[in-house]
Every structure is written in C-alpha cells, then in structure tokens.
Amino acid sequence: MRKTPKILIFSPSAHGGLAEHIFYQAKALEKASAKVICLIPPSFLEGRKTDFETLICLPDPVSGPSGIFKKLKMAWRTIWSRYLLAWKIILLRPDLVLLDSYVEYLSPLWVDPHILLSRVFGVRYAANLHDPVRSYVIGPKWWHRLSVWLAYQPLDFVLVHHGLADPAIVPKRVRVVVAPHGLYDIVISSRAEAAIHADWEVPAGLKVFLSFGFIRDGKNLDLVIKALKEVPEAFLVVAGSVASTKDKTFAQYRNLAEGLGVSERCRFFEGFVPDEELGTYFAGADFINLTYSSSFHSQSGVLHIAANARKPILASASPSPMIEAVTRFHLGVAVEPDSKDAIVEGMRALLNGVATPNWNGYEASASWDRNAKIVLESSGIALKINK
C-alpha cells in the first residue's frame, strides 16, 4: 500500500468555473498529503502555475464558427479525451479518479473502458456534480436517458455543494457527498475606486453592477440591461467572453442598450480577463450580478470571488447552493429568476442598503480544506494517509 495515495484528476475544461474549481480543489488535496496528477489541455488557465503535477495531454476546447464540422470535432474531443483517461488510469494506477464534472454527452461511445476499470479492476471514480439536473437534451430523449444512466455507471460517489432536492436524480448505487465550494483568491487592486470609475466613465453618484465571467443567455444579461431603464442610479459593467456561438454576442447587448437609451450607463469589456486584471473589476464594482435563469441549479464560481472581495450579490436561479448561500449568509439579494421586474426590485434593494453580509461566516463554511478532507474520507484515502 502506498504511503502517499495518488489521485488522478481529469480536467478537460481549460477556462471558466470548472477549471478554476479543479485548480483550487487539486491544490487543497495536495496540501492534504495526497499525490495529485491532473490531466489538462495546453491552455489550462492560460498556463497558471500549479502546486500539483500536471500532464498536458488533453486536446484544447474546440473554437471557431458553429456548424457540422465543429460539432464533429467536439464529439471527437469528448470521446478521445475519455479513452485517453482510461489509458492513463492503466498506466498510473491511481487510488482515486476524480472528474472535474459529470458529463453524459455521447457516453455510450466512451464509457465501456471506465465501467470495466471500475467494476472488474476496482478503480474508484468520483465526479464533481456541479449541475445535478441534466435538462439539456442532445438527440432523441431515449438517447439522452441512456447517456445519463451510463455515465453514472463507473462512479462510486459524486460531490455536490448542497443536498439534492430530488435524490432520485442520482442512481441509488452512487453515493451523494456534500462538500463545500471554497473561495477563490483575488488581489484587490490598490487603485482608488474613484480612479477606476473615471476609467469606466461612471457618472458621479452612480453605483456599479458587475456582470463577470462567461456570458451566456442563461445569465439574463438582457434583462439586467432592460432593468437599467428603471433604475437610473445603476451603472453596468460587463467583462468576460461569450460562452458559445449559440449565445448572444456583445454586439447584440450593445445594440439593446443603445435601443433602450441606456448605453451611456454600460461598459462592455470583451475577452478573457487575466488574473492580474481581475482585482480591478471587483475593486471598481459595488455589486455583482449573478442573475441566472430558472434552469440554473448549481453553485457559481463568481460568487466565491465576490465573497473574497466582499461585494454584495444580486442573485437569481432555481433553488440551488448559490441561492441558499446568498440567503443564509445575507450576501446580498435573491430574486425570482427570469424576471426584469424582479431584477429592478433587487437592484433597488441593494442601492437602499441591505442587512450586513456575514462574509466571515460564509468564508468559514466555504473551505477548500474541508472539500479536500471530505473527498479523501469519502474515497477511503484518508485512512491510508492516517496510517
């Protein structure tokens, strides 16, 4: 038995919340005396230095215009990456295989070696189950149901950030383990807020609402822009990249703002935000928009930047770990999803002042060290470390 147990982490995501989550989770697991090896693509977090071992062997995410060729490349990447994972498992013989997220897409075409490794050779698999509700359907419904069922077959347990409202979502044989989502590091800019606002041309007396990260239709940015019409004290800053070719473009949001006559109270910064610029956006913001649609049932990585920066949240979503965190610790205002009027009310509530957020309480509950401890205990690895 190895004195230092080995965890093989599969992280095909190169940017965004999934990649950030793995970065911090892997760092905490390494700190907890496990040997971490993380399979990543070349552009993983733009080459950020890691405290754990990485193997750059996965293909980068597919980019370019949508179409049949792109879909075929994405399918190939999904299937090839998971066969490569199976080969690395055979070579490295880890004590635990941890997936950055549960993915069911095309699982009938790639799951067989993983079922074999788990059922016959006893390889333990776990997955971060960021979104337990698999409502996005690709292909016929029977194919979707089969894909969801098969993708769970190799898994011993899944990690969630909140107890499931409907336990039947996950097969009974798969253990559901609750583990917290920790805070993300951020170095707040030393520049004065007034200087940042001057760069953004924010009129005196207005408060900045920041929408940050991947820009998706499901974040209701169009409703936030429409809400500005009724909240003249609010100024909107949008920073990030469009998530996919299916989502609205920055040009469409700019046109919407111009059509509503609120473009002078909007600033759009399109593109990947480097780590060194992150602190400027959160230093200049008064509030953070997390206005997800009713299809969102998960936790938000941006919330964990905002919590570290001590910036109140305007949140909307279905019942989820994010909404539970905002309401339980008074981190801002939670409103009804998919409603412009609710966003207006939420903006006004924040502008009028809300209960003092319990940042310290939330930070104590949102610990990467606890996350790592729970992963190790759930997999049995903690017993090896203690020995």
What CATH number should be reported for the domain holding residue 210? 3.40.50.2000
167 and 210 housed in the same domain: no
User: Please, are residues 285 and 273 in contact by the beta-carbon 8 Å criterion?
Assistant: no
33 and 167 housed in the same domain: yes
CA count, 13 A, side-chain hemisphere, 177: 22
User: Please, are residues 350 and 314 in contact by the beta-carbon 8 Å criterion?
Assistant: yes
Rounded to the nearest 10°, the torsion over CA 106, 179, 241, 61 is -30
Residue 228 identity (one-letter amino acid):
L
198 and 156 housed in the same domain: no
**How many C-beta atoms lie closer than 10 Å to residue 75's C-beta?**
15
Q: Evaluate whether residue 28 is within a structural domain.
A: yes
Cα(381)–Cα(178) distance, rounded to whole angstroms?
A: 17
218 and 98 housed in the same domain: no
Q: Evaluate whether residue 187 is within a structural domain.
A: no
One digit per residue, pLDDT tens: the chain, 387 residues?
A: 456 899 999 999 998 889 999 999 999 999 999 999 999 999 999 889 999 999 999 999 888 777 888 889 999 999 999 999 999 999 999 999 999 999 999 999 999 999 999 999 999 999 999 877 766 777 899 999 999 999 999 999 999 988 777 777 899 999 999 999 999 888 888 888 899 999 999 999 999 999 998 899 999 999 999 999 999 999 999 999 987 888 899 999 999 999 999 999 999 999 888 888 889 999 999 999 999 999 888 888 899 899 999 999 999 999 888 999 999 999 999 999 999 999 999 999 999 987 789 999 999 888 999 999 999 999 987 655 554
11 and 40 housed in the same domain: yes
C-alpha distances out from residue 361 to 35, 124, 325, Å: 31, 34, 10
340 and 381 housed in the same domain: no
Residue 138 identity (one-letter amino acid):
I
Helices within the chain (DSSP H only): 16-31, 68-92, 112-119, 141-152, 193-200, 221-228, 250-260, 275-284, 301-309, 321-328, 340-352, 359-365, 368-379, 381-386
Q: Residue 24: its pLDDT value, please?
A: 96
165 and 205 housed in the same domain: no
Pick the closest to residue 212 from 48, 17, 12 (CA basis): 17
Q: Residue 384: its pLDDT value, please?
A: 55
Q: What angle do CA 134, 135, 141 make, to 5 degrees?
A: 100
Q: Evaluate whether residue 290 is within a structural domain.
A: yes
Pick the closest to residue 294 from 236, 339, 355, 246 (CA basis): 339
Q: Evaluate whether residue 188 is within a structural domain.
A: no
Q: What angle do CA 138, 25, 372 make, to 5 degrees?
A: 115
Q: Evaluate whether residue 158 is within a structural domain.
A: yes
280 and 360 housed in the same domain: yes
151 and 14 housed in the same domain: yes
User: Please, are residues 216 and 292 in contact by the beta-carbon 8 Å criterion?
Assistant: no
Question: What is the phi/psi pair of residue 240, to 5°?
Answer: 150, -165
Q: Evaluate whether residue 1 is within a structural domain.
A: no
Q: Evaluate whether residue 14 is within a structural domain.
A: yes
Q: Evaluate whether residue 92 is within a structural domain.
A: yes
Residues listed for the chain: 387
318 and 373 housed in the same domain: no
Cα(85)–Cα(58) distance, rounded to whole angstroms?
A: 9
Cα(148)–Cα(156) distance, rounded to whole angstroms?
A: 15
Q: Residue 187: its pLDDT value, please?
A: 83
209 and 341 housed in the same domain: yes
Burial class (CB in 10 A: 0-12, 13-18, 19+), 356: exposed
With a CB cutoff of 8 Å and minimum separation 6, the contacts of 271 are 240, 241
Pick the closest to residue 309 from 277, 264, 278 (CA basis): 278
pTM of the model: 0.84
> What range does the domain containing 348 cover?
193-365
Domain total in the chain? 2
C-alpha distances out from residue 186 to 189, 304, 332, Å: 9, 10, 19
Burial class (CB in 10 A: 0-12, 13-18, 19+), 235: buried
43 and 162 housed in the same domain: yes
